[in-house]
Amino acid sequence: MLGVLLCNVHRQDWGTLGMSLEQRLRDGSAVLGVVGLGYVGLPLAVEMAKSGRKVLGMDVSDEKAADVNAGRSYIPDILAEDLAELVGKGLIEATTDFSRAAECDAIAICVPTPLNKMKEPDTTYMEAAARSIAPYLKRDILVTLESTTYPGTTEEVVQPLLEAHGLRVGPDFHLAFSPERVDPGNTQFQTKNTPKIVGGVTPECTSAAVAFYEGFLDSVVPVSSTRTAEMTKLLENIFRCVNIALMNELLQVSERMGINIWEVVDAAKTKPFGFMPFYPGPGLGGHCIPIDPFYLSWKAREFDVHTEFIELAGKTNEAMPYYVVQRLMRALSSHRKSLAGSRVLIMGVAYKANIDDIRESPAIKISQLLLDADADVVYHDPHVKSFEAGGRDVASVALNAETLGAADAVVIVTDHRNVDYDLVWRASKLILDTRNTMREFDGDKVVRL
């Protein structure tokens, strides 16, 4: 009986605490924190501040903290003037002093989750972030994890670290997972209007997380658990990874059959139901699609499951840079040239169009393979100032008739907008187009992947 009473009192307390936090989150008086001010964290902090909320950004980088405090944006999707205005109004401040987590009523963790050399999850950034804020958490705080990761991370890895100083999730504070879905360079869907999934450790944690994100985002979608939220993000990225791999396989068989796969996809996508277009390409890039699926494969092994689709997709996609180089060798041979000694101009080294991010870009592997084959490699990318492949600097060249004409082959790896493709077509001797960018240009000198 006493146990039931205590339990009721306890739950009531918890509910009241939750309510008051939720009220503060909704009325805008709560102070919000963001740990990790990168491609995900800075846009999130800006969105919070635009809603009038006071935001404290915490990062290990002195440079990033100084940039934010000076209103200098290092993320292309964030305009410096917007950031400067929010900093000027005192709505955003950045620090490397994690003891200031004590000022926050809610904190979102947005730190990297890469793979290590063995392609296993590297959770050290998340662990370090959790350890740095844990001593300063106040009662009733909400912590959300946004970094993409395997199902179970929030409760198995982050929760024990946050609880190390005595507070417990549930009675003392709230913890939820809410995957970041930002798509850098996407002008239609950005942080604010992309629906946000949230799954808490307890229903009250979910409710607090909904109140937090509804304060500054258009739409929030609660799910039943942290693991469901973690798996949702992985499903989204695995779906893309597997479908891209399928297109890469179909590209290779179509090429043998003399069929233009790009035309096939365009024709198939006229079907108004049951088909979604994906495109082949030079290989996967970025922080998500090449990496996240392996977070699940790794965790699945603990459950005696081998995620064969993911492994196969990974294998197919990882082979694409090699396939690009093979196709280039064939194209050069048809011009009576060998790859060794040829000058190759790589156009676009960012991992996708219209952004400056080169993480995991297929251009890195392609350039490395070309350098290994003794090709003379240069690149052009209006968004990327310097570029290295396999520890070797690759020289940047301007895009003009002279640099294009000096190359034995131009390889379009990333199809940035605002590039004079007409000039590329006129001035180049041979173009290997891995993105179907030159679809409007005829002639033997364009070789489509």
Ligand X SMILES: NC(=O)c1ccc[n+]([C@@H]2O[C@H](COP(=O)([O-])OP(=O)(O)OC[C@H]3O[C@@H](n4cnc5c(N)ncnc54)[C@H](O)[C@@H]3O)[C@@H](O)[C@H]2O)c1
Residues labelled catalytic: 288
Q: Which is nearer to ligand X, 58 or 394 (CB)?
A: 58
Rounded CA-CA distance 359/357 in Å is 6
Shortest separation between residue 109's beta carbon and ligand X, angstroms? 8
Local structure of 177: helix, strand or coil? strand
User: Which tokens is 1 given?
Assistant: 């009986």
26 CB contacts (<8 Å, ≥6 apart)? 211, 214, 215
Shortest separation between residue 8's beta carbon and ligand X, angstroms? 39
Shortest separation between residue 379's beta carbon and ligand X, angstroms? 22
User: Which tokens is 44 given?
Assistant: 């999130």
Q: Which is nearer to ligand X, 46 or 129 (CB)?
A: 129
Shortest separation between residue 154's beta carbon and ligand X, angstroms? 13
> Beta strand pairing status for 387-389 and 376-380?
unpaired
- Return the number of other C-beta atoms located less than 10 Å from residue 303's C-beta: 7
Shortest separation between residue 123's beta carbon and ligand X, angstroms? 10
Cα angle 146, 152, 158 (rounded to 5 degrees) comes to 60
Rounded CA-CA distance 64/36 in Å is 10
Q: Which is nearer to ligand X, 18 or 179 (CB)?
A: 179
Could you give the residue ranges of the DSSP H alpha helices within 215-225? none
Q: Which is nearer to ligand X, 129 or 329 (CB)?
A: 129
Could you give the residue ranges of the DSSP H alpha helices within 182-291? 203-214, 226-257, 261-268
Shortest separation between residue 286's beta carbon and ligand X, angstroms? 6
Shortest separation between residue 117's beta carbon and ligand X, angstroms? 18
- Give, as one character, the DSSP assignment of residue 45: H
Q: Which is nearer to ligand X, 64 or 327 (CB)?
A: 64
CB 244 within 8 A of CB 286: no
Q: What is the DSSP string of 294-342?
A: HHHHHHHHHTT---HHHHHHHHHHHTHHHHHHHHHHHHHHHTT--STT-
Q: Which is nearer to ligand X, 292 or 408 (CB)?
A: 292
123 CB contacts (<8 Å, ≥6 apart)? 113, 149, 153, 157
Rounded CA-CA distance 44/34 in Å is 8
User: Which tokens is 181 given?
Assistant: 């879905």
User: Where on the chain is the footprint of ligand X (CB under 6 A)?
Assistant: 35-41, 58-61, 64, 110-113, 125, 128-129, 132, 146-148, 180-182, 184, 287-288
CB 413 within 8 A of CB 434: yes
* Residue whose CB is nearest to ligand X in the complex, by number: 38
Q: Which is nearer to ligand X, 111 or 346 (CB)?
A: 111
Helix 292-302 × helix 226-257 angle, to 10° = 120
CB 233 within 8 A of CB 179: yes
